[in-house]
Amino acid sequence: MATAMRHIGKPLKRKEDPRLIQGLSHYVDDLQMAGMHYAGIVRSPHAHARIRSVDTSKAQAAPGVVLVLTGADLKGLIGPVPCAAQLPEMKMALRPVLAHDRVRFVGEGVAVVVATDRYLARDAMDLVEVDYEPLTPVVDPEKALAKGATVLHEPYKDNVAFRWELEGGDIKKAFKQADKVIRQRMINQRLIPVAMETRGVVADYKPGEKQLTVWSSTQIPHLLRTQIAAMLGVPESSVRVITPEVGGGFGSKLNVYPEEALVAHLAMRLGKPVKWIESRRENFLATIHGRDQIDDVEVAVKSDGTVLGLRCRVIADLGAYYQLLTPLIPTMTGLMIAGCYKIPAVRVEITGVLTNKMSTDAYRGAGRPEATYIIERVMDLVAAELKKDPVEIRRKNFPQPNEFPYATPTGVIYDSANYQRSLDLALKMANYKKLRQEQARLRKQGRYVGIGLSTYVEVCAMGPSSAMPAGGWESATVRIEPTGSVNILTGASPHGQGQETSFAQLGAEVLGLDPEDVQVVHGDTAIVPYGIGTFGSRATAVGGTAVYKSLLKLREKLAAIAGHLMTEDPSKLVFADKRITARISKKSIAFGEVVGAAYAAKTLPPQMEPGLEATTFFEPTNFTFPFGAHICVVELDAETGDVRLQKYVSVDDCGNVLNPLLVDGQVHGGIAQSVGQALLEEAVYDEQGQLITGELMDYAIPRASDLPWFETARTVTPSPVNPLGLKGVGEAGTIGATPALVNAVVDALSPLGVRHVDLPVKRTRVWQILQKAGRRGK
Amino acid sequence: MAVEIQVRINGKTQQNEVEPRLLLVHYLRDTLGLTGTHIGCETSLCGACTVLLDGKAVKSCTLLAVQADGAEVTTIEGLAGQSGNGSGLHPVQEGFWEKHGLQCGYCTPGMILTSVELLRRNSEPSETEIRHALAGNLCRCTGYQHIIEAVRYAAEKIKRASAKPGRPGKTRKSGRR
């Protein structure tokens, strides 16, 4: 990138906001069409049962009902929910669109009712009678692995979905040479993503044109289109997927769900537009969950704090079926478990387990928050064991800035970093030394004050296609229209991240225009070239690079035309202020005039094609590895167990930044979701496999009043992986913050001899620990 | 079975026959096409469906349309019309835009209307007061910090506008507290 930027790096307020703040945008449920029908899914109340029979006669006869279908009716008509993951010797656990012989989790679809009105559809759902024969539910993943456990997917003999191992370095030697070995079991609880907009699908079929249009609240319109075509057995060219405004995803909409193919099928079958909107209760039961690991970790250390080796056994609860990426998520934990430390030997063994619950899959961070949690808790365990400051232990094990690109023993190549710099800045912002002094003073008064630290690295900008199940490139077409306005068509599918603004900044920068002159289009497979989508902090680093490269191609063409028109050297032209100007002679021509010439095609350089359109499919050579340091302060209320968050400092390095306002927003939101995981949220299934946290009443996502003021800053270490030096920031907060928060709580409890507290650190848990210690504070 | 109701919505009187069980939010969205009011949980917990009913912020997903009979309702679509400053945006809407108070935008209309009600009750709320006033409106994207800045921006703007009518003046850069 050039040095003096007019638009890149500026906190431009968002172009998407005016429609969103005035109620002028359209989410799926806002679509209204003549003749719209409404679908409702009848779901299993049992975690595990055989379906003896389904009687739909009463529902069929109910007012307004036009169609009722069961799983048996759909057999052979719609393929199963796809899974893109492949692991060696992995069992298949594919989910039918509607269950036909057996249900395997509470919330699995059994029948669908279609009516002319959403209230009438809801009425008729209660009239579908399903005769279930309950089977033993398998809920606890460790019990699911035990001999004699009921098997979910016969004819398989057990519930092991896969075993996956990763080893690098000499792990036996590491443990042999250790002065100390520290062991800890850690729980990474099951979470529910809770995008504020639930899922929803509208489908419409035009039989004459044989065109099926599906509007879905998804993060991956193109992949969804491919999969819907495959599930329905129709040509992909006859399917159009449109993502209208999407009200949050966090990975939960990086998927292909039964309803997306089912509603499309219903629209084709009935010749009417059909709408299905997920209720919040359904969203809890039947949209993917996240995390859910049991991690047994062992660390080999020398007495000076040098970490020699790390061993971890992971039990990953996958739920009953695979969704798009289910089995892959825990492998990300394996890849990132060494964190930002030089650990010469690492061994990870992962067992994926099938249980009678909703599938787990990618929830913001997807495997990396687990890795970071494990390694960052480990660093604090080491510090506690060796009676050293957690800062010192971390510094001791960081690679030096001149060691990048740095290869971990498991073969991951970290692109660029300066872990020391981000940590130093965070310590300075938090005034760490003074915090420790203050803590010592308050401890003398019997108060429970804790300081928590986390230094993280994560893997972003997913990614090189060799490491991605469905390709890791991203597409962008830039088209300059005859009037000079610019359309950027991106294969990424933003849903709150703000790329309509940041890509417009990019366009304005490269072409010397204003961001208002650049329109970003996304989320319509009939308009935008095939793309991969928005997830894995990839939209800016991979998608933005594709945009940038297409812009450069067009700038080159415009320069050639302008040079030809002005008889100037095209390589010595400057694009600024909507003009193209020769650097030396200062001869200048309006941008619009050159665009006009490209379309009029009368004065073009010889052999040049008319028109101004360029497409790039950008394939990254590696992932990027953002990093940072988070520090927080908590005080525990000895009477109630409340964890009071008093200070939060984060320093994040996501490489170069297109729009700092958007980066701050991503960081804040990520930290808030971490506060949820660390202190509030937990998806709980009872022994019968009933989700007892199935509503917002029971599943506590953070409210405004639960959070402190976040003090954020950035260091900038550009990534060498893409020409803009971008790393990505969508998940950093959720990855870095959870361990900092738990480390702070453990630090607060450390005078009581506490070395570890499991997630989530709810007030009941803190209260119990304080009660048990028999030391009610002050 | 249908019941006739008359509601003044965004300054315009609406008269409709509705089923007694029709929820207010469905009346607004489906009957009147005012889809700026969103549904996030159907249980009053998330606040996405917040509208002003006779000036009070209420959750329209757990009110029946018939309960709004004779009342005055303001939705996000009608909010700017009530600011009377001709800018096309209410100061709270402006604050959300200026301070990046939204990402996916789904909670935003409810968040804005709750903020409007807060500022009518309390023209200079502290950070803590804003956090508590917004506790019934959930946002999963922003971590709320920019929303708090947005509310502060609006408070400042409203204060200046009422001090010097017609002259909005310079706005204080909003920092902590």
- Can you tell me the distance from the alpha carbon of A629 to that of B110, in angstroms, rounded to the nearest whole number? 34
The verdict on a CB contact (< 8 Å) between B143 and A669 is: yes
Minimal Cα–Cα distance from A772 to chain B, Å?
Answer: 33
Amino acid residing at A256 = V
pLDDT-derived band at B162, boundaries 50, 70, 90:
confident
Q: By CA distance, what is B111's nearest residue in A?
A: A21
Cα Rg of chain B, angstroms? 16
Question: Which tokens go with A317?
Answer: 């609860």
CATH code, residues A17-24+473-618: 3.30.365.10
Rounded-to-integer distance, Cα A582 and Cα A572, Å: 6
Return d(Cα A561, Cα A570) in angstroms, integer. 8
Are B144 and B134 in contact, with CB atoms under 8 Å apart?
Answer: yes
Using left for φ > 0, alpha for ψ between -120 and 50, and beta otherwise, residue A313 falls in beta
Helix (H), strand (E) at residue A215: strand A211-216
CATH of region A31-135+196-248+253-286, choose from 3.30.830.10, 3.30.420.40, 3.40.50.2300, 3.90.1170.50: 3.90.1170.50
Give the integer Cα–Cα distance in Å for A534 and B148: 28
Closest CA to A453 of A372, A391, A388, A536: A391
A356 pLDDT more than 90:
yes
- Give the residues across from A632 on adjacent strands: A452, A648
Do A197 and B106 lie within an 8 Å CB cutoff? yes
Q: Which of A146-150, A382-386, A720-724, B168-172 has the lowest mean pLDDT?
A: B168-172
Chain A CB contacts of B28 under 8 Å are: none
Burial environment of residue B173 by CB neighbours within 10 A (0 to 12, 13 to 18, 19 or more): exposed
For range A379-400, the mean pLDDT: 98
**Looking at beta carbons, which residues of chain B come within 8 Å of A24?**
36, 77
3-state SS class at A510? helix
The pLDDT assigned to A510 comes to: 98
Domain assignments of chain A as residue spans, ordered by start: 17-24+473-618, 31-135+196-248+253-286, 367-460+623-772
Q: How far is CA A492 from CA A243, A515, A539, B54, in A?
A: 11, 19, 5, 43
Instruction: Note whether A21 contacts B: Cβ–Cβ < 8 A.
Output: yes
**Tens digits of per-residue pLDDT, A62-114?**
999 999 999 999 999 999 999 999 999 999 999 999 999 999 999 999 999 99
Q: Which fold has domain B3-77?
A: Ubiquitin-like (UB roll) (3.10.20)
Question: A211-216 and A239-242: which strand pairing?
Answer: parallel
Provide the pLDDT confidence category of residue A776 given band limits of 50, 70 and 90.
very low
Cα(A279)–Cα(A619) distance, integer angstroms: 38
Residues A691-750 have pLDDT tens digits of 999 999 999 999 999 999 999 999 999 999 999 999 999 999 999 999 999 999 999 999
- Distance CA(A296)–CA(A561), nearest Å, equals 64
Is the CA virtual torsion A573, A575, A581, A586 positive or negative?
negative
| A631-to-A160, A347, A448, A455, A649 alpha-carbon distances in Å | 39, 29, 17, 9, 5
CB A308 within 8 A of CB A298: no
- Name the A residues in 698-717 with CB < 8 Å from any B CB: 701-705, 707, 709-710
Helices A419-430 and A432-444 pack at an angle, to 10 degrees, of 50
d(CA A643, CA A637): 7
Interface probe for A, chosen from B106, B134, B146 (most Cβ of A below 10 Å), is B106
- 8 Å CB contact of B105 and A21: yes
**3-state secondary structure string across A321-362:** CCCCCHHHHHHHHHHHCCCCCCCCEEEEEEEEEECCCCCECC
| Residue A90 near residue A162 (C-beta atoms within 8 A) | yes
CA distances from A602 to A482, A489, A597 (A): 14, 28, 7
How would residue B85 be classed by pLDDT, with cut points 50, 70 and 90? Answer: low
Strand bridging mode A180-191 / A102-103: unpaired
B100·A21 Cβ contact <8 A: no
Burial (0-12, 13-18, 19+ Cβ within 10 Å), A758:
middle
The minimum CA-CA distance between B109 and chain A, rounded to whole Å, is 6
What sign does the dihedral A727-A729-A735-A738 (CA atoms) show?
A: positive
* Cα separations in angstroms, A314 against A198, A214, A373: 31, 39, 13
Radius of gyration of chain A (CA): 28
Chain A residues within 8 A of B149 when measuring between CB atoms: none
Q: Are A100 and A12 in contact (CB under 8 A)?
A: no
The pLDDT value recorded for residue A2 is: 46
Q: Which two tokens stand for residue A404?
A: 């990048």
Closest CB from B42, B100, B138 relative to A279? B42
Q: Are B69 and B46 in contact (CB under 8 A)?
A: no
**A17-24+473-618 and A31-135+196-248+253-286 have identical folds:** no
Find out whether A520 and A500 touch, Cβ atoms under 8 Å. Answer: yes
The model's pLDDT over A455-511, given as tens digits with 9 standing for 90+, comes to 999 999 998 999 888 889 999 999 999 999 999 999 999 999 999 999 999 999 999
Q: Which chain B residue has the Cα nearest residue A670?
A: B143
The answer, for A194 touching chain B at a CB cutoff of 8 Å, is yes
Average pLDDT rounded to a whole number, residues A664-675: 98
- DSSP per-residue letters across A657-679: -S-HHHHHHHHHHHHHHHHIIII
Provide the mean pLDDT of chain A: 97
Superfamily of domain B84-163: [2Fe-2S]-binding domain (1.10.150.120)
Q: B143, A23: Cβ pair inside 8 Å?
A: no
Instruction: Give, in order, the Cα–Cα distances in Å from A112 to each of A73, A123, A228, A276, A765.
Output: 10, 12, 18, 10, 42
Kindly state the percentage of chain B with pLDDT values over 70.
89
Residue A711, exposed/middle/buried by CB under 10 A (0-12, 13-18, 19+)? middle
> Cβ contact (<8 Å) for A710 and B143?
yes
Q: What is the pLDDT of residue A488?
A: 98
Q: How far apart are CA A239 and CA A234, in angstroms?
A: 8
Rounded to whole angstroms, how far apart are CA atoms A56 and A52?
Answer: 13
Does any CB of chain A come closer than 8 Å to the CB of residue B76? yes
Q: Do A32 and B112 touch (CB under 8 A)?
A: no
Using an 8 Å Cβ cutoff, are B137 and B49 in contact? no
Tell me whether A32 touches chain B (CB under 8 Å): yes
**Nearest C-alpha of chain B: how many angstroms from A644?**
14
Q: With an 8 Å Cβ cutoff, is A496 touching chain B? A: yes
SS3 A515: helix
Label residue B176 by pLDDT band (50, 70, 90).
very low
pLDDT in tens, A241-278: 999 999 999 999 999 999 999 999 999 999 999 999 99
Chain A residues with beta carbon closer than 8 angstroms to that of B38? 27, 29, 196-197, 247
Q: Which of A422-426, A540-544, A586-590, A773-777 has the lowest mean pLDDT?
A: A773-777
Closest approach of B11 to chain A, Cα-based (Å): 16
Cβ-Cβ pairs closer than 8 A, A with B, add up to 181
Residues 6+ apart with CB under 8 A from A617: A473, A474, A475, A546
**pLDDT tens digit sequence for A18-38:** 999 999 999 999 999 999 999
* B42, A280 contact by CB (below 8 A): yes
Average pLDDT over residues A520-549: 95
Q: Does domain A367-460+623-772 have CATH number 3.60.21.10?
A: no
Helix (H, G, I), strand (E, B) or coil at A86: coil
Query: pLDDT tens digit string along B127-160?
Result: 999 999 999 999 999 999 999 999 999 999 999 9
- Rounded to 10 degrees, the C-alpha dihedral A150/A153/A154/A155 comes to -130
| Residue A43 phi, psi dihedral angles, 5° rounding | -120, 155
B89 contacts in chain A (CB < 8 Å): 21-22
Q: Which of A682, A685, A681, A683 is nearest to A672 (CA)?
A: A681
As a whole-number percent, the residues of chain A with pLDDT over 70 amount to 99
pTM: 0.96
Is A437 exposed, middle or buried, given 0-12, 13-18 or 19+ CB atoms closer than 10 A? exposed
Element (H, E) at A543: none
pLDDT at A54: 98
Q: Look at B76 and A195 and tell me if their CB atoms are within 8 Å.
A: no
- Over residues B92-100, the mean pLDDT reads 98
Which H or E run includes A433?
helix A432-444
Query: Mind telling me how many Å the CA of B143 is from chain A's nearest CA?
Result: 4
**CA-CA distance, A359 to A336, in Å (whole number)?**
22
Kindly report the nearest CA distance between residue B99 and chain A, in angstroms: 8
Say whether residue A34 is in contact with chain B using an 8 A CB cutoff.
Answer: no
Q: Looking at chain B from residue 95 to 154, which residues have their Cβ under 8 Å from any Cβ of chain A?
A: 96-98, 100, 102-109, 112, 127-128, 130-132, 134-148
- Nearest chain B residue (CA) to A712: B145
A115 in B contact zone (CB under 8 Å): no
* φ, ψ at A232 (rounded to 5°): -90, -10
Q: Within 13 Å of residue A400, how many CA atoms lie on the same side as its CB? A: 2
Would the pLDDT of B115 be above 80?
yes
B55 three-state secondary structure: coil
Average pLDDT over residues A194-209: 97
CA of A283 vs chain B CAs: smallest distance (Å) = 9
* Cβ neighbours of B140 in A, within 8 Å: 194-196, 248, 250, 669, 673, 701
Instruction: Please report, rounded to a whole number, the percentage of residues in chain A having pLDDT higher than 90.
Output: 97
Inter-helix orientation angle B91-98/B76-83, to 10°: 110
| Alpha-carbon distance values, A414 to A610, A747, B143 (Å) | 43, 30, 29
- Dihedral, CA atoms, A422, A426, A427, A428, nearest 10 degrees? 100
pLDDT of residue B87: 61
Substitution target from B75, B104, B128, B129 for chain A, most A beta carbons within 10 A: B104
In 3D space, the residue among A35, B24, B7 whose CA is nearest the CA of residue B16 turns out to be B7
Residues of B whose CB is below 8 A from A707: 131, 143-145
| Structural domain boundaries in chain B | 3-77, 84-163
pLDDT of residue A745: 98
Cβ pair B107, A196 in contact under 8 A? yes
Q: What separation, in Å, do the N-terminal and C-terminal C-alpha atoms of chain B show?
A: 54
Q: How far apart are CA A735 and CA A372, in angstroms?
A: 6
pLDDT of residue B166: 53
Q: How confident is the model at residue B83 (pLDDT cuts 50, 70, 90)?
A: low
